[in-house]
A and B are shown apart, each in its own frame.
Chain A
């Protein structure tokens, strides 16, 4: 994996690590507490203590929520595409949902629901589904009029129209949408897990904060970033495979 990274990326990471290490040496002489900028060795110790179960739990929450968000988002987009009246009613609601800050959703979730898992999935879905809806609808509108006319001339059922034309045609846009919402979901899940969860990366970050362990925060954050990059790499591979007709 590392060998596949561009040389410039590796160099910039190494430079950052060296600068961090220098800062951790200099911190006490600059009046900064030593724990605030731990050395790479201390961070490595924290990384060694990472619990895979918490990573798996967070990953599971993200993937489940994204799948649910995608299904809901796509169905709503299809309804909005099929009916102008539905679109007129739903578009303002979708826009409002997108304008509400994540923190507000977390507070609503805490006040409305008892189950921690449901709260987290709720927050992720309510944040990600509108993104899928807007992206899918925009992509549907951009499908070539010529292709729509061609398939309509063969008189498809509404299901066939979406299945044979619209879904394959919007697949490139859907994959881009997944890349965006994946990054969004990883950031949102962490905040959602800070409130009430007893597992997951967000919970571990909360524990690290209570223990004033910057090394642990750094280690868990690093795990999150790597997790995001790995998932994005998977999506890119999927994209290459699914969209090979474009090569």
Chain B
């Protein structure tokens, strides 16, 4: 695994979508600035529709910002799209496995895309399937696997590419609690072991706390409501902040700047 070497710098980021039917503009992200250090495990938490997934798409490079920038080592994932081939990997909420490929072939997919030699592809994909406890299911099609097993394959697929940056968008929220906990643990262990910068996007504070070294709370349009290191979470003087974060993440609570 390639350890991340450059920070992710988000400066004055703004993303506005224009609705094709009504012509109305929706500001998904408004003036977001954030710095994520190399090797950091950060959880971004916020209510549904707060702009988390838009940030995810911008970080992958599938969307261009309306204003502001995201730079990683002086390059942007959207303008210098191909410069990040093999450096960014993603784990989505749904496994997004190709149903026509076996588990092994799904893990091999990103390796094929970045042009790794075939014998190494096989060896590396098998190593990751073993690591995720799926070696006996290497030749199984996704329909033959349980939801948890499919998500394990998706995790193996992301790690197999040896990314510097790992992005996970609600990756464990569709699973039952036991499986989700187990996979969160695996995700954290692997991200720490390989020193990748990992960003988990979630709407669950418990999940954010279980994964992140640092928790960032988004309000409407990705307004930065709080940015807390987990090491400080239990500090006595943070009691009010903790309570305010929990209240803010409740479904109908209005946004409040917490810090």
Contact = CB atoms under 8 A, between A and B. Distances in A.
B149 to A, nearest CB: 16
A155 B161 CA distance: 12
Contact of B62 (A146, A149, A246): A149
Contacts of A245: 99-101, 141, 143
Given A147-B96, A150-B96, A245-B143, A164 B109 contact: yes
Interface residues of B, number: 28
Nearest to A146: B96
A152 interface: yes
Interface in B73-101: 81-82, 84-86, 88-90, 92, 94, 96, 98-101
A165 B101 CA distance: 10
B112 A164 contact: yes
Contacts of B61: 153, 155
A154 interface: yes
Nearest to A149: B62
A45 interface: no
Contact of A171 (B82, B96, B100, B114): B100
Contacts of A147: 96, 98
Nearest to B114: A154
Given A155-B84, A245-B141, A165 B92 contact: no
Contacts of B161: 154
Nearest to A242: B100
Interface residues of A, number: 19
Interface string A137-164: 0000000001101111111100010001
Interface of A is mostly: helix
Contacts of A154: 85, 89, 109-110, 113-114, 161
Contacts of B143: 245-246
Contacts of B90: 150, 153
A196 interface: no
Contacts of B114: 154
A167 to B, nearest CB: 10
A53 B62 CA distance: 56
Contact of B113 (A146, A156, A169): A156
- The residue among B62, B82, B90, B100 with the most chain A CB atoms within 10 A of its own CB is B100
Contacts of B98: 147, 164-165, 168-169
Interface string B105-129: 0000110111000000000000000
5 smallest beta-carbon distances between A and B, as pairs: A150-B96, A155-B85, A153-B90, A154-B110, A245-B100
24 contacts: A146-B94, A149-B60, A149-B62, A150-B90, A150-B92, A151-B109, A152-B60, A153-B60, A153-B61, A153-B90, A154-B85, A154-B110, A155-B61, A155-B82, A155-B84, A155-B86, A164-B98, A164-B109, A164-B112, A168-B100, A243-B100, A245-B99, A245-B101, A246-B143
